[in-house]
């Protein structure tokens, strides 16, 4: 594992040095990691990257080479000595990887020495923002595919090796069945797929010869790219000839891939040709700059596609290239108690929720569908034997009462006083958990355009605290 101690913004180090100089470095603080807006006009976000956050924290230390470099940036020996032997000793609660979360909810709650909590901000944002973005985009694409396998093909268009590797991981968490990325397959035990490119077809004197050469090497998993020259007049007929040869030898051909042209029309016509030749079970895979809107449209057009290879628009989340996750101070410990802190802004969306908080999800007790989330102070308790009324945090007259319901606290312990307590999971396990979580959402939350907005409210106690702090600030600054 890589040591990413210096994967941080310079101002984190200058602040840490400042805390040390002002003897604030040992103060216990609470930071929340959350996002303000779902990507891609979605109604939810899938949390991905928790395992890599753990890897980062487990390997976080400053080498002599690191310290020498920082010495060259004019940090003094007192600060450098404070970094020697650095080890995260704080407490982190977070949503399990693969969870479905919503704007303004704490996804990670970090309680640690100020010196430690400040350092880890940038790396946490870097890791979680990207993987959560790609997992969410993949979920939308897989939803459009409506049960068809979606293969992640984005490595060559990813914004660097790490984006390609961890983007493939996140895409599988979001629902993709496999990846073309061999290194990601090895690292995360993800199925890898791939056949041939147009260059393979062009290398041979004829398309038929290229198909036969490939089939000779891979007779039991032969899937042929048919759009190098002319999909319907050349590609599919030549593929059928090769498939017939394979069938005579006792092999079952897998399919064809179409990578250009009018996918809907070409797939329907290709299906007719394949069926007429008796190859009803041969799949048709589509690629070519696909994303959820195009796949959804092709589905409506009844395109004869059985699988989807999605690259650029998935690995870059092209319509929403960044998740705006943030890491904000929520409380400081003083004299054994936690003092809530709030960030105030002219933009109401950027006003934070103060205090040491948790997230409670409310489910319908009958069908287990998620109904709403409640952000609460950590010491609050819900009596599930009594009706529960929640209200919109801004339009407070909007209320909803639950009678037959059950609740679940979304944040679980990841670190307790520096000790890892979170059970490590494989990508396959995380993917299965995500699929189960998605089943708790009504279909209206999964629409691609103008989805229904999931309710995320504040408890009365948290709402009161927030408004008391806002009013106190207003009064103080109006004098």
**277-330 residue pLDDT tens:** 999 999 999 998 999 999 999 999 999 999 999 999 999 999 999 999 999 999
CB 120 within 8 A of CB 88: yes
At 416, the pLDDT band (50, 70, 90 cuts) reads very high
Looking only at the bridges linking them, the beta strands covering 223-225 and 150-152 are unpaired
Q: What is the mean pLDDT of the chain?
A: 96
Q: What is the pLDDT of residues 253-275, one digit of tens each?
A: 999 999 999 999 999 999 999 99
CB 393 within 8 A of CB 340: no
The encoded tokens of residue 180 equal: 């073309």
Q: Is the pLDDT of residue 478 over 90?
A: no
The encoded tokens of residue 220 equal: 């039991």
Per-residue pLDDT at 260: 96
Per-residue pLDDT at 479: 53
Distance CA 41, CA 74 (A): 45
Q: Which of 123, 10, 115, 5 is nearest to 62 (CA)?
A: 5
Q: 121-145 and 292-300 are packed helices; what angle lies between their axes, rounded to 10 degrees?
A: 10
Distance CA 152, CA 158 (A): 11
* Strand order across the beta sheet in which 419-420 lies: 337-340, 325-334, 28-35, 108-113, 91-94, 412-416, 419-420
Q: pTM here?
A: 0.96
Lowest average pLDDT, out of 24-28, 133-137, 283-287, 335-339, goes to 335-339
Q: What is the pLDDT of residues 22-57, one digit of tens each?
A: 999 999 999 999 999 999 999 999 999 999 999 999
Q: Which residue has the tokens 């929720």?
A: 353
Per-residue pLDDT at 347: 87
Distance CA 320, CA 42 (A): 10
Looking only at the bridges linking them, the beta strands covering 223-225 and 255-258 are parallel
Q: Is the pLDDT of residue 73 over 70?
A: yes
Distance CA 155, CA 316 (A): 10
Strand partners, 31: 110, 329
Helix, strand, or coil (residue 448):
coil
* Helix, strand, coil share (%) of the chain residues, nearest 5: 40, 20, 40
Structural domains of the chain sorted by starting position, each given as residue range(s) with its CATH number in brackets: 10-134+321-478 (3.20.140.10)
């Amino acid at each position: 594992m890589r040591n990413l101690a210096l994967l941080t913004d310079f101002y984190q180090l200058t602040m840490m040095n400042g805390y040390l100089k002002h003897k604030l470095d040992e103060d216990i603080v609470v930071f929340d990691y959350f996002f303000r807006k779902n990507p891609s006009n979605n109604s939810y976000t899938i949390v991905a990257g928790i395992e890599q956050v753990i890897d980062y924290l487990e390997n976080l230390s400053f080498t002599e080479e690191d310290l020498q470099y920082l010495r060259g940036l004019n940090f003094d020996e007192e600060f450098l000595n404070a970094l020697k032997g650095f080890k995260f000793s704080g407490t982190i609660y977070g949503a399990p990887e693969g969870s479905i979360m919503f704007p303004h909810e704490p996804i990670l709650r970090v309680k640690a020495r100020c010196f430690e909590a400040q350092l880890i901000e940038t790396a946490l944002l870097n890791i979680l923002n990207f993987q959560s973005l790609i997992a969410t985009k993949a979920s939308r694409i897989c939803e459009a595919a409506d049960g068809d396998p979606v293969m992640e093909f984005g490595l060559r268009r990813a914004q660097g090796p790490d984006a390609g590797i961890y983007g493939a991981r996140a895409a599988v968490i979001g629902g993709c069945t496999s990846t073309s990325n061999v290194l990601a397959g090895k690292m995360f035990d993800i199925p890898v797929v791939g056949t041939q490119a147009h260059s393979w077809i062009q290398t041979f004197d004829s398309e038929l010869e290229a198909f036969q050469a490939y089939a000779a090497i891979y007779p039991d998993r032969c899937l042929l790219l048919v759009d190098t020259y002319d999909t319907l007049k050349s590609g599919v007929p030549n593929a059928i000839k090769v498939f017939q040869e394979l069938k005579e030898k006792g092999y079952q051909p897998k399919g064809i891939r179409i990578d250009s042209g009018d996918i809907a029309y070409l797939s329907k016509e290709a299906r007719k040709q394949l069926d007429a030749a008796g190859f009803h079970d041969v799949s048709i895979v589509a690629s070519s700059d696909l994303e959820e809107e195009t796949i959804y449209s092709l589905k409506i057009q009844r395109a004869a596609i059985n699988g989807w290879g999605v690259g650029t628009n998935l690995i870059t989340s092209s319509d929403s290239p960044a998740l705006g996750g943030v890491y904000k101070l929520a409380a400081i410990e003083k004299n054994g108690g936690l003092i809530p802190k709030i960030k105030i802004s002219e933009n109401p969306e950027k006003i934070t929720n103060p205090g040491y908080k948790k997230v409670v999800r409310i489910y319908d007790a009958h069908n287990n569908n998620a109904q709403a989330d409640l952000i609460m102070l950590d010491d609050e308790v819900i009596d599930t034997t009594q009706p529960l009324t929640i209200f919109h945090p801004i339009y407070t007259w909007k209320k909803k009462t639950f009678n037959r319901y059950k609740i679940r606290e979304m944040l679980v312990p990841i670190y307790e006083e520096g000790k890892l307590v979170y059970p490590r999971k494989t990508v396959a396990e995380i993917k299965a958990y995500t699929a189960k979580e998605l089943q708790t959402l009504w279909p209206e939350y999964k629409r691609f355009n103008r989805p229904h907005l999931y309710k995320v409210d504040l408890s009365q106690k948290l709402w009161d605290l927030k408004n008391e702090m806002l009013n106190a600030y207003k009064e103080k600054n109006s004098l």
